[in-house]
């Protein structure tokens, strides 16, 4: 402060005059009012800022609480999805095993069907051969029956001729 007074004296001001001190008092009062106004404005803006920051903190804490709830829900959902994934993998593995089993059964059934088709072809061939043999046998039987009938007719004719011959011989004797 002594520098202030030295500076005022160097500028040629009378430090003992009443006017000087009134001007100084007015300058200080004005300075004080300006500073008071700035302080009030600073306090007011600080209060507004504090209120705004508290509101943002409250909102941030609410958001943190909401996010923590969401995290908990997501963890629970994640666990549920992991369990569902495991069950799905197990079902898929069982389905794959069943598919492999059915595939093997299909291969076996196809082989069995081929074997049956071959046996059917063999049976049809055998049946045709038997039909042919049976047809030949029937034809031979018919021929033999015809031959037998002719032989029986000849035999009957021979008997009749013998009877006639015996009658003639008996009549001649």
pLDDT digits (tens, 9 = 90+) for 142-151: 999 999 999 9
Contact 53, 43 (CB under 8 A): no
pLDDT in tens, 68-82: 999 999 999 999 999
Average pLDDT for 112-124: 96
The CA distance from 11 to 144, in Å, is: 172
| Predicted pLDDT at 109 | 97
Average pLDDT for 4-9: 53
3-class SS at 83?
helix
The CA distance from 51 to 34, in Å, is: 25
| pLDDT confidence band for 10 (50 / 70 / 90) | very low
pLDDT in tens, 44-100: 999 999 999 999 999 999 999 999 999 999 999 999 999 999 999 999 999 999 999
The CA distance from 76 to 87, in Å, is: 17
Contact 15, 5 (CB under 8 A): yes
pLDDT at 9 over 90: no
The pTM for the full model equals 0.44
Contact 138, 146 (CB under 8 A): no
| pLDDT confidence band for 124 (50 / 70 / 90) | very high
Contact 20, 14 (CB under 8 A): yes
């Amino acid at each position: 402060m002594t520098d202030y007074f030295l500076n005022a004296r160097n500028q040629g001001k009378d430090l003992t005059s009443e006017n000087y001190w009134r001007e100084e008092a007015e300058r200080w009062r004005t300075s004080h009012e300006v500073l008071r106004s700035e302080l009030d404005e600073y306090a007011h803006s600080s209060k507004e800022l504090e209120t705004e920051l508290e509101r943002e903190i409250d909102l941030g804490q609410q958001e943190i609480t909401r996010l923590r709830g969401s995290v908990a829900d997501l963890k629970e959902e994640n666990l549920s999805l992991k369990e569902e994934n495991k069950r799905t993998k197990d079902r898929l593995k069982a389905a794959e095993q069943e598919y492999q089993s059915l595939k093997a059964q299909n291969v076996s059934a196809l082989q069995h069907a081929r074997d049956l088709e071959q046996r059917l072809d063999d049976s049809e061939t055998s049946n045709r051969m038997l039909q042919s043999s049976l047809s030949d046998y029937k034809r031979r039987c018919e021929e033999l029956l015809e031959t037998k009938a002719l032989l029986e007719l000849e035999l009957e004719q021979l008997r009749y001729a013998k009877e006639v011959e015996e009658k003639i011989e008996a009549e001649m004797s």
